[in-house]
Chain A
Amino acid sequence: MTTSLNRNIAPPIKQPELPKIMPNSIKRNHEITVFDISENEEISRFDIIFNIGKLHENKAGILKIVNSTILSGTSEKTEAEVNDSLDMLGIYHSIEQSLYETTITIFGTNALIKDAIPILIDAVFNASFPSDKINNAVKKAIAGLEQNKEKTSYLAKTLLNEIFYATKSIKNETTKEDFMAINQAELYEYYHQVFLKSSFYIIKPASVDLEKLHLPENTTIALGINKSYHFTRNIVPHTHIQKNDAVQTSIRGRCIAIGRQDMDYPILQLANTIWGGFFGALLMKNIREEKGLTYGISSYLSPNFDQGTIELSADISINNIDLVLSEIKKEIENLHQNTFDLDIFLKAKNYLLGNIAKSYDEIFANLEKYKLIYSEELPENYHQTYFESIKNCTLEKMTAVAKKYIRFDLFSFVTCGPEKQ
């Protein structure tokens, strides 16, 4: 006998749990801080993370050019020889710069990455910065900058940075003149006196013997690791930048919030998810799915060490600016007063929990979790606590945190687009 299928009834579900098996086993050892990754996949990764970022530039743009040219050869090897050696081993590399870190990463198969690590270490710690490579990097950086200046999204974000930050190195975007003023002597001095004297830490495959890597002594703290920055505390409710050749208007909003070290952070993450952090959020439901005014509107938390902001972005037609701003305000009020479909609370919570659980399936996302604990000086059980805080959060607790941080009167908005029709 067969029973007919009732498609109106959803299958039973369970609230997502943290996976019991975490595929990466990472342990910290040695005098130099080193994280060993177990090799349970075909591919592995090696990172050198210098405690130096945009916050530590003594001249605008100088770290960006160091990072663009650091693999351009040593006194004994040309750029082509360095890159030939890495390419032959099938290595991909990337160099990323945040406010307070520079991460140099290589990916390779487990069989070949061991041979690539010494090549990378030699190139990074003995870089020679030929002047023609610096010139190429400067020209490329200027070209990228000029292109960005044609983007409404970039112009809006640049002005927000100027409004928000008091710390000079992150307040103003690097200009064409800044890049042009960078010369080989200054760059070389910055590399030796600042970059290499910042401390570093390592993430390596467990089977790679640290003693055989010939790492230079970690001279640490010559620079001091300053990870904090200052806000102006200015709030400019709405500024419009007119760009007459634009066919759409970028809207970018920001308010000061908190970093991961704050106890409220996981709850704020949940509150923000409900407001604008996922496809089922109040902003997306209203402004995209009900009114069709944008391809996407989203808000997200941008934490850096012990501080952070809430960011909002959307791209819309110029004539809808006032309407969209008023709907953003309305959805904050709905969030504060719980005048929204309360089912969204459960959806957002389980969406976040499922997302965290899934990230443990991905070896490199999993690795980032461990890295974060170290770089942001978080407790060892941070991710478990984060998960449990969201899981156990009540509507009342979420609302209280939302009222404290997600407030329309704390936001500054910049729009950039053509003149109103």
Chain B
Amino acid sequence: MIKFDTFELENGLRVIHHFNPNKSSTVVNILYNVGARDEDPNKTGFAHLFEHLMFGGSKNIPDYDGPLQKAGGQNNAFTNNDITNYYIQIPSENIETAFWLESDRMKQLAFSEKSLSVQQGVVIEEFKQRYLNQPYGLAYKHLRELAYKTHPYQWQTIGKEISHVVEAKLIDVIEFFNKYYNPNNAIMCVAGNITLDNCKHLTTKWFSDIAKGERNKNIYSNEEIQVSARAIKAPQANAQKAIYIAFHKSKKMDVSHAVEDLLSDILSSGKNSFFYKYLIDKEKVFTSIDCFVGDDIDPGLFYIVGRLQDDILMEVAENKLWEYITIFKSSFSNENELLSRKNKLLTAKSYQDTELLNIAMQLCFAENLGDIQFVNNELLSYINVSVNDIKLLANKILIKEKSNTVYYDNIIK
């Protein structure tokens, strides 16, 4: 159970406080309600590029990292399709430095052609390093493009293509900042060895003079229901044949999300899973096969990723996979299997809560989802799942006509 208090400044900044006097450090986590789904389809990769620019200094503090490092702090950030998240962890006695730095860049970021140009170069190299120069590095790009035709989840956070990053202009950067980097479009969590009174005092001191802006309304095109299977053969060659399949799933706050998550565990997590027992151990068509779900706020994807044994044809592996999905959908009834997955989730949650940063991020995410109590209630939605729920859901989403498949069938000789 994570304990917390909340308060809000007049400019709309929502603040969450979590007190733990046993820690020597304190975390300041700021979530901005803007991600890749908010981008113009012709200017993708922008939310992530902007995240890089947030470290280029602000009006009163030209060097963001330096003062933080001097104070013994660490920081980083990430962008996904829904949000952009920045965090600092710092010795508690130097916590005011974090308030100073974060408030100044929220108030007025420094913009320059030089900073933009350098970070464009950095992001292009990141694009190559993480996607273009990796085996199967474009698999999820292909899957998103297959699965989504109208919703902005059709592109990855890094962007559709490098040219979008190259063509970003300074005016776009300024507009983006003014539109999304406002106190009322942000949620801050302060977690650690800091009292509520001190948290309120420092928040008011450093953040209350920042002007209010617009809050992101988060309105996006709905994806139409998929009625026929979609597939492509990836042009890239790899050392091992692989199959990537994605199905549409529910949104994060839907009760089905917990069922989907548990279903993915039952199918593929560990040597006791259904796919391991039958597709790896018994039939020997795959060397590995994994299922997982995304954490997207809007309806996301349920993934199956299998790597084929080298003497197995793609068609054979795919048929076996569908054969066992059909068996699972008609026969799953194992109460113990479900119970063991729930027990593992309780362990995972306890593990996650040993770190302040995880607690701070979870609190911000829950608040951004519109229900901060979700941080403690989410587990309940998992505990309430029944065997029948799993079976019904498998029958609802694991349907061939609603599948999106990427085949990696080219082998490097």
Contacts and interface: CB of A to CB of B under 8 A. Distances in A.
B132 A247 contact: yes
Q: Which 10 pairs from chain A and chain B are nearest by CB?
A: A354-B72, A292-B121, A90-B343, A16-B72, A146-B239, A19-B24, A11-B96, A87-B340, A295-B126, A347-B69
B94 interface: yes
Candidate in B70, B121, B270 with the most chain A CB atoms within 10 angstroms: B70
Contacts of B71: 13, 350, 354
A: contact size bracket? 35 or more
Contacts of B128: 247-248, 315, 317
Contacts of A15: 72
Contacts of B239: 143, 146-147, 149-150
Nearest to B1: A42
A350 B69 contact: yes
Contacts of A140: 287-288
B61 A7 contact: yes
Interface in B101-115: 103-104, 107
Candidate in B67, B69, B288, B348 with the most chain A CB atoms within 10 angstroms: B69
Interface in B352-372: 353-356
A77 interface: no
Interface in A68-99: 71-72, 79-80, 83-84, 87-92
B72 A43 contact: no
B310 interface: yes
B89 A315 contact: no
Candidate in A289, A354, A362 with the most chain B CB atoms within 10 angstroms: A354
A167 B90 CA distance: 42
5 contacts: A7-B100, A13-B97, A90-B344, A247-B128, A295-B123
A8 interface: yes
A41 B99 CA distance: 29
A80 B347 contact: no
Contacts of B122: 288, 292, 294-295
**Helix, strand, loop or mixed for chain B's interface?**
helix
A1 interface: no
A83 B270 contact: yes
A353 B72 contact: yes
Contacts of B130: 295
Interface string B49-89: 00000000001110001110111111000000000000001
A11 B73 CA distance: 14
B363 to A, nearest CB: 17
A328 to B, nearest CB: 16
Interface stretch (A54-62, A107-115, A375-383): A107-115
B371 to A, nearest CB: 24
B351 A107 contact: yes
A248 B25 contact: no
A316 B345 CA distance: 40
Nearest to B25: A358
Contacts of A279: 65, 69
B356 A361 contact: yes
Contacts of A355: 72, 74
B91 A87 contact: no
Contact of B60 (A8, A42, A288, A354): A8
Contacts of A136: 280-281, 284, 287
A317 B353 CA distance: 41
A303 interface: no
B396 interface: no
Given A14-B93, A147-B238, A132 B412 contact: no
Contact of A83 (B73, B100, B271): B271
B73 A354 contact: yes
A325 interface: no
Interface of B: 22-25, 59-61, 65-67, 69-74, 89-91, 93-94, 96-97, 99-100, 103-104, 107, 117-123, 125-126, 128-130, 132-135, 205-206, 209, 237-240, 270-272, 277, 280-281, 284, 287-288, 307, 309-310, 336, 339-348, 350-351, 353-356, 412
B125 A294 contact: yes
Given A80-B277, A136-B281, A354-B74, A293 B69 contact: no
A88 B100 contact: no
A31 interface: no
Nearest to A40: B22
A185 interface: no
Given A11-B96, A79-B271, A247-B128, 16 more contacts: A10-B100, A11-B97, A14-B93, A21-B24, A43-B347, A88-B340, A92-B347, A109-B347, A140-B287, A143-B240, A143-B307, A247-B132, A295-B126, A351-B72, A353-B72, A361-B23
Contacts of A317: 125, 128
Interface string A356-371: 0110111110000000
A19 B71 CA distance: 15
B350 to A, nearest CB: 4
A6 B67 CA distance: 16
B343 A87 contact: yes
Given A14-B94, A43-B351, A361-B356, A280 B66 contact: yes
Contacts of A248: 125, 128-129, 132-133
Contact of A90 (B90, B288, B310, B340): B340
Given A5-B209, A87-B344, A361-B24, A289 B118 contact: yes
Contacts of A107: 347, 351
Contacts of B237: 245
Nearest to B269: A87
A119 B132 CA distance: 44
B124 to A, nearest CB: 8
Contact of A315 (B73, B125, B345, B351): B125
A392 B123 CA distance: 38
A136 B339 CA distance: 28
A189 interface: no
B75 to A, nearest CB: 8
B76 to A, nearest CB: 9
Interface string A1-32: 00001011011111111010101000000000
A150 B342 CA distance: 38
Interface string A30-72: 0000000000011100000000000000000000000000011
A357 B125 contact: no
Contact of B133 (A13, A87, A152, A363): A152
A363 B351 CA distance: 10
